[in-house]
C-alpha cells in the first residue's frame, strides 16, 4: 500500500509542477505572434543550483538556437527559440538534441539508482547478519 501511495503522491507532485510551470511565466502576445517554441530543461538532482552548470546548459542549448528565458528553481530552466530554428537542427553536431528536456540523470534513473542502492545495502546487511549469527 505504501508504494501505491508514494506513486500517487509523485504523480500529484508532477501535475502540480506542470501547472506551476504554465502559470509562472505567461507567454506574451509577441512571443506567440512571432512563432516561438518553448521548452523546460529539468534536473532531477538540483544541478542548476551551481552557476557554472546553468551557464554550461545555456551554452549547450544556444547551439540549437535556444535562448535562456528564466530559472524557475534549482531543477528547471526555461528556454525559447524561433520556430524557424528547426531548419538548422540537421546541421547540429552529433549528440546535440535540440529537444532535450533532461539534464543529467532523469527522475526515473534517479529513482532506480536509489532503489538499487537500498537493495544492495539491505542485501549487504542481511549477509553480515547471517555471517555473524
0.95 exceeded by pTM: no
Give the whole-angstrom CA distance, residue 58 versus residue 39.
13
Per-domain residue ranges for the chain? 2-105
Edge-to-edge order in the sheet of strand 76-82: 36-42, 76-82, 67-73
Q: What is the pLDDT of residue 29?
A: 74
Q: Which residue has the cell 527522475?
A: 107
Q: How many CA atoms lie within 13 Å of 48's alpha carbon, on the beta-carbon side?
A: 19
From CA 58, how far away is CA 95, in angstroms rounded? 16
**Rounded Cα gap, residues 126 and 77, in angstroms:** 42
Q: How many CA atoms lie less than 13 Å away from 25 in the CB half-sphere?
A: 14
Let me know: does 19 contact 40? Beta carbons within 8 Å. Answer: no
- Residues in the chain, pLDDT under 70: 1-5, 7, 24-25, 31, 105-124, 126-127
pLDDT tens digits, one per residue of 24-34: 667 777 767 77
pLDDT for the residue numbered 61 = 97
How far is C-alpha 51 from the geometric centre of its chain's CA atoms?
Answer: 16
C-alpha span between 35 and 45 (Å, rounded) = 32
Amino acid at each position: 500500500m505504501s508504494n501505491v501511495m508514494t506513486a500517487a503522491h509523485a504523480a500529484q507532485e508532477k501535475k502540480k509542477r506542470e501547472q506551476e510551470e504554465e502559470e509562472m511565466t505567461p507567454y506574451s502576445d509577441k512571443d506567440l505572434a512571432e512563432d516561438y517554441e518553448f521548452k523546460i530543461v529539468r534536473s532531477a538532482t538540483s544541478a542548476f543550483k551551481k552557476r557554472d552548470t546553468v551557464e554550461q546548459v545555456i551554452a549547450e542549448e544556444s547551439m540549437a538556437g535556444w535562448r535562456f528565458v528564466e530559472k524557475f528553481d534549482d531543477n528547471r530552466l526555461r528556454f525559447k527559440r524561433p520556430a524557424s530554428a528547426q531548419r538548422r537542427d540537421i546541421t547540429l553536431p552529433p549528440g546535440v538534441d535540440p529537444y532535450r528536456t533532461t539534464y543529467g540523470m532523469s527522475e526515473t534513473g534517479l529513482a532506480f539508482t536509489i532503489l538499487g542502492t537500498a537493495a544492495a545495502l539491505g542485501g549487504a546487511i542481511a549477509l553480515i547478519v547471517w555471517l555473524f549469527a
